[in-house]
Structure formats: C-alpha cells, structure tokens
Structure 1
Amino acid sequence: MSGTPEGFTYRLRKNGDVEVLHHGRPASVLRGAAAARFLVDVDSDDPQELMARLTGNYKHGNERAAKRHPRNRDR
C-alpha cells in the first residue's frame, strides 16, 4: 500500500454542482463557490489528494503510529 489516496473521481452536474465519488459511490457534493474553486484547483493540484481532503478522508493523525505497527513493518 503506497499511502496515497486513490479511487476518487468526480462528475460535473448540469446545475454546476460537482459530485465527488469514491470507488463509484457518492462521497461529497460541492455547490456554488466551492464547486468553482474545485474545478480550478483540480487542474493545478494532485486531483486524488484534493478530493481526499475535500471528503475528509485524509490524514487522520494515526499514520505514524500505524507505520510502526508490527503488521505494517514490512511494507
């Protein structure tokens, strides 16, 4: 496991909303100014990391402790 976010996609709705999907399931909907900012930022930043941050599925604070766990030492 590489530790980088993956499995995120997005689709633009007819009304201008942006729906963020994780493995094909809805994770978040961005409306108005947030949707407009997302569409600008998605081209300049890493799209997977950006969508992970927007959905809240990013850096929960236990990454360092999990890396030292015996189950994960060989990864």
Structure 2
Amino acid sequence: MGTPTGFAYDVVGDTVVITHAGRRATVLRGARARQFLAEIEDDDPQELMARVTGNYKHGNERQARDHPRNRGR
C-alpha cells in the first residue's frame, strides 16, 4: 500500500484545518484538535492526516479495478 501524500495542516487558534492537495479536507476543533496535535508528534503526519480525513486506501482497490464496469479503464 502506498504512503499518503499531499496533506498539510494549519493551526488557527484552537482549530486545526487539514488540507489535501490545497483543498480543505476537514476541520478539527476543541478536544479533537488538541488530540490531533499531540498525536502528530508521535505518528507519521501524512498517515495520521489521511486517517483523520478518511482519505486512505480501504483494501478493495484491486477488486474495484477488476469489476466489469471498470474493465478497460
């Protein structure tokens, strides 16, 4: 599985704005924002932001590629 890329985050007061490829993906506030900032120190930042936004591989990509409606793409 590939490593997620293209994520960035900005801290604005007690809010964390996570972007992906320059577009806002999610906004974390309050306790969740504080937890994110604590976790970002220990974890891989790109992987953590992918998990938080829900933008990560789910393991079914090969099945989707082989589906009849996707053949030939």
TM interval, short-chain normalised: 0.7 to 0.9
Greater strand fraction, Structure 1 or Structure 2? 2
Partner residue in 2 for 1:28: 26
Structure 2 length-normalised TM: 0.79
- Partners in 2 of 1:29 and 1:13 — Cα distance? 10
- Partners in 2 of 1:22 and 1:51 — Cα distance? 9
Q: Secondary structure of the equivalent of 2:59?
A: coil
Return the offset for 1:62: 1.3
Partner residue in 2 for 1:6: 5
Partner residue in 2 for 1:51: 49
Aligned length in residues: 65
Return the offset for 1:60: 2.1
Structure 1 letter corresponding to 2:39: D
- Which residues of structure 1 form unaligned runs of 5+? 70-75
Return the offset for 1:39: 0.3
- Partners in 1 of 2:20 and 2:43 — Cα distance? 18
Which digits, 9 at most, give the CA deviation of each residue in 1:33-71, with x for residues without a partner?
Answer: 0000000000110000000000000122314x26x96xx
Partner residue in 1 for 2:35: 37
